[in-house]
Amino acid sequence: MSKFSLSARRAGLALAIAGALGAGAGLSLRLLEPARSAPAATDHAAMGPGGGPSAARPAAAASDQVVIRDFDFGPKALTVAVGTKVIWTNRDDDPHTVTSEADPKLFSSPPLDTGDAFAFTFDKPGTYRYFCSIHPHMQGTIVVK
Amino acid sequence: MPKKIEAPDKSRRALLKCMVLGSAGGMLWTVSGGVPRAIGLGGEALAATSGDFAFVQISDTHIGFHGEANPDPNGTLQQALARIAEAPIRPAMMVHTGDVSHLSKPAEFDTAQQMLKTAGLETHFIPGEHDTLVDQGKPFFERFGKESTQGGWYSFDQGGVHFVALVNVLNLRPGGLGYLGPEQLEWLEDDLKGRSASTPIVVLAHMPLWSVAPEWGWGTDDAAQALLYLKRFGSVTVLNGHIHQVIQKVEGRITLRTALSTAFPQAAPGTPGASPGPLKVPADRLRSLLGVRQVDIVKDKASPAISDTRLGA
């Protein structure tokens, strides 16, 4: 079974290293850009100056990022290895959700306010489509290999 | 982009009144002889005192919004309510076309309810998608849906007008737009059945009932079916919110109009590089991006008389 972990503003802050350290939002936005080239567990702490809460996270915990900005998921399609935790962070002024299109829903975030994050770990290979249940024209895909 | 002022017949003073009104949103509607007429809440309302029945539309108050586009949505709502109170014609009631709150939080609903109450007007609500973020909108309907059916939609009669309040922000489907659903459409058909075609109809729905900008989600998937049931009526006015700007479409005898927000502006559809979120502008430009539209929907006329006033340079 996939491991479900609920979003929280805390999580968003922990991830937005620079933000947590009081740097400008612009900087934290850049830091949250997903490291697409890296297979799985690129150490996100390495991307931020001086580390931060996430620097302590074990490198073994494979994770990747999707940023929600301008009413779009970026990247729209993300390919990850089995076991990867995908973290979505809302960088819009409008709330969004990350909602599985499967029936029954495999994952469904609560409404994410600005800066909130939601994480889901994909434990099985497959193609997982999702959308924002508030703005349903926003759609994205996670491909797990 | 703001257009140049196009109101050569209006005095400078009237324009200033419009500017104040425009910053706060709100639209006063009068019904005279069963025909709804939209008028601003400023000085021009004096010219329309012959109305038998007036009501106010307020929309997208977004109480709880905390973005840069408006650091004080409570303040701008207060300003809108003050304009309503000052209107030369005392409205009989108010309709709120959704997004009362920003995040469906009880505290936001509380604040909105307390503030709106100060208008002293009976108020009919429909939810926006911001009001139904949790539990299928249960917290919203418990508070604001006293008159609604199980699904949230309802109708009522006032001032010779049949009002239909629809919900198109629930059960949204992946890749889709706003959604009414077969159950609500069936109810609508039944609700309208047997009514005289001469009954003026006013429809309330949060998301536009036509495709304003599908790429931004500004439309309703199954609106065509609803409009089909409405088209036999002589006068149909559809009042929407959601897009924080006034856009109108006329389809036969059906006029569809979106409303201003009291909280923040949004970009015009098709604006390069824009998204459908809150539009951040310098504080001193906020008002210049808002404005009012005056429309007279005259019985037996093919098209309504429209006058737009977009303020600021």
Q: What is the model's pLDDT at position B31?
A: 62
User: Which residue did the predictor score with more confidence, A128 or B23?
Assistant: A128
Average pLDDT of span B93-116: 96
Task: Report CA B74 to chain centroid distance, whole Å.
Answer: 18
Hey, what domains does chain B have and what are their CATH numbers? 12-310 (3.60.21.10)
Hey, are the CB atoms on A137 and B133 less than 8 Å from each other? no
Per-residue confidence band for B188, with pLDDT thresholds at 50, 70 and 90: very high
Hey, are the CB atoms on B217 and A135 less than 8 Å from each other? yes
First to last CA, chain A: 16
DSSP letters for A40-96: S---GGGGSTT--GGGGS-TTS-EEEEEE-SSSEESSEEEE-TTEEEEEEE-SSS-B
Chain B interface, best mutation among A90, A132, A134, by max B CB count within 10 A: A134
| Size (chain A), residues | 145
Q: Does B180 contact chain A (CB < 8 Å)?
A: no
Q: Are strands A77-80 and A84-90 parallel, antiparallel or unpaired?
A: unpaired
Q: What is the model's pLDDT at position B56?
A: 85
Q: In angstroms, rounded to a whole number, what is the distance separating the alpha carbons of residues A15 and A66? A: 12
Residues 41-60 of A with CB under 8 A from B: none
Sign of CA dihedral B49, B55, B60, B62: positive
Question: Does pLDDT of A5 surpass 80?
Answer: no
Q: In angstroms, rounded to a whole number, what is the distance separating the alpha carbons of residues B40 and B222? A: 31
| Domains identified in chain A, total number | 1
- Contacts of residue A129 in chain B, CB cutoff 8 Å? 174
* Omega before B214 within 30 of 0, i.e. cis: no
Q: Does B278 contact chain A (CB < 8 Å)?
A: yes
Sign of CA dihedral B33, B34, B36, B42: positive
Contact B126, B98 (CB under 8 A): yes
Hey, are the CB atoms on A71 and B277 less than 8 Å from each other? yes
Question: Does pLDDT of B231 surpass 70?
Answer: yes
Q: In angstroms, rounded to a whole number, what is the distance separating the alpha carbons of residues A101 and B27? A: 39
Question: Does pLDDT of A106 surpass 90?
Answer: yes
How many angstroms away from the CA of B300 is the closest CA of chain A?
39
Residue A107 domain boundaries: 4-144
Average pLDDT of span A44-51: 33
Q: What is the ipTM of this complex?
A: 0.78
**Residue A85 is part of a domain; what is its CATH number?**
2.60.40.420
Q: In angstroms, rounded to a whole number, what is the distance separating the alpha carbons of residues B173 and B184? A: 16
Hey, are the CB atoms on A137 and B278 less than 8 Å from each other? no
Which H or E run includes B155? Answer: strand B154-158
Hey, are the CB atoms on B217 and A136 less than 8 Å from each other? yes
Average pLDDT of span B64-88: 85
Q: In angstroms, rounded to a whole number, what is the distance separating the alpha carbons of residues B209 and B239? A: 9
Q: What is the model's pLDDT at position B278?
A: 92
Beta pairing partners, B178: B220
Vertex A142: Cα angle to A51 and A87 (nearest 5): 25
Residue in A closest to B280 by C-alpha: A93
User: pLDDT tens digit string along B79-89?
Assistant: 888 878 877 77
Vertex B281: Cα angle to B280 and B286 (nearest 5): 115
Contact A121, A2 (CB under 8 A): yes
Q: In angstroms, rounded to a whole number, what is the distance separating the alpha carbons of residues A89 and A128? A: 18
Closest CA to B26 of B85, B102, B67: B85
User: pLDDT tens digit string along B129-175?
Assistant: 999 999 999 999 999 999 899 999 999 998 788 999 999 999 999 99
How many angstroms away from the CA of B288 is the closest CA of chain A?
21
Q: CA dihedral defined by A30, A35, A36, A38, rounded to 10 degrees?
A: 160
DSSP letters for B246-294: --EEEETTEEEEE---SS--BPPTT-TT--SSBPP--GGGTGGG-EEEE
Q: Does B310 contact chain A (CB < 8 Å)?
A: no
